[in-house]
Structure 1
């Protein structure tokens, strides 16, 4: 269970605004997803479908994300353009500890990230995004997580193929960490940020 009583107000910048992913935003989410086949492949390690995928396929996923958001189990947001007319991608803020347990993390790692208020964060940005959006998203997103969220710590996760995301995260004041997860079949990269020290 995610021990986040209330997420902060969604982030709004000159480049993008965040809004919780809700069923009424289905078409914007689906359009951005289908416009980004290479990004989706890299972000999901090829596990998310693109060919033949449409709004009818996406609706149950969006409903689940919205249900989790309302129940405070996990939080999913769309990056929207400032006018709110187009989706620029998707952000996921999820509890870290249950994932580490499920993936067979050792006792030291589990102790390090014990508790429900440590998050794993991932995101993707649409393939035809404006140049420079990746850096702006990483900087503003990290500031929002660090200063507004009631978290003990958070870790970003990305795949090596997400080169723009990896480059943007490497430029932030984060620690690249290695997490041994015997049951995880994918090779992820991790960046850690402590907000409050976990003892």
Structure 2
């Protein structure tokens, strides 16, 4: 179950995050803190995510186990065009995607890697965005080392696309619905 990331579920989010140091390092390419990261620091980030969600600028969801009251990871829907501008994409790249397109990223708890959960999440998120979310296009973005997520995305009816992004140093892989 996906629920907006708010202060009400911050403790669950924090527990999942701290239980997943290797996943967090790979997903963030080492940019997100792990050692010494506190719940108070997480609450500040959650407040920003909550404000963005409420203002409809970006959407962050915590993925919850239905019966256990446990967070399984997070899902992020961010404006694709904003990212493309930040990494100095060429106008023809920008024009390829409608202005209301989303960039989709997610991570799952370390103890959930290789369990099949990534396939369930990727398929559910893709179906949800295609059928129920009011956007025209979405792209999944992952790093090559996100093996479980990569395998899950490659099983879906998505096509891998290459984006020329002069200002992006990371070797992101991009997947688009067919």
| TM-score (normalised: structure 2) | 0.96
**What is the CA deviation profile of residues 93-151 of structure 1, one whole-angstrom value per residue up to 9, with x for unaligned ones?**
01100110110111211111141x10000000000127111111111111111100111
Q: Which residue of 2 aligns with 1:156?
A: 140
Matched, 1:19 2:18: no
CA 68–126 in structure 1, closer or farther in 2 if over 3 Å, else same = same
Q: Which residue of 2 aligns with 1:14?
A: none
Q: Which residue of 2 aligns with 1:109?
A: 93
Can you give the 5+ residue segments of structure 2 that lack an aligned partner in the other structure? none
Q: Which residue of 2 aligns with 1:127?
A: 110
Runs of 4+ with >6 A deviation: none
Can you give the 5+ residue segments of structure 1 that lack an aligned partner in the other structure? 1-16, 195-199
Deviation at 1:192, TM superposition (A): 1.1
Matched, 1:173 2:157: yes
Q: How does 1:39-78 map to 2 (within 5 A)?
A: 39-78=23-62
Deviation at 1:84, TM superposition (A): 5.5
Q: Which residue of 1 aligns with 2:127?
A: 143
Q: How many residues align?
A: 177
Inter-partner Cα distance in structure 2 for 1:103 and 1:140? 29
Q: Which residue of 2 aligns with 1:190?
A: 174
Larger % of helix: which?
A: 2
Inter-partner Cα distance in structure 2 for 1:163 and 1:129? 12
| TM-score (normalised: structure 1) | 0.86
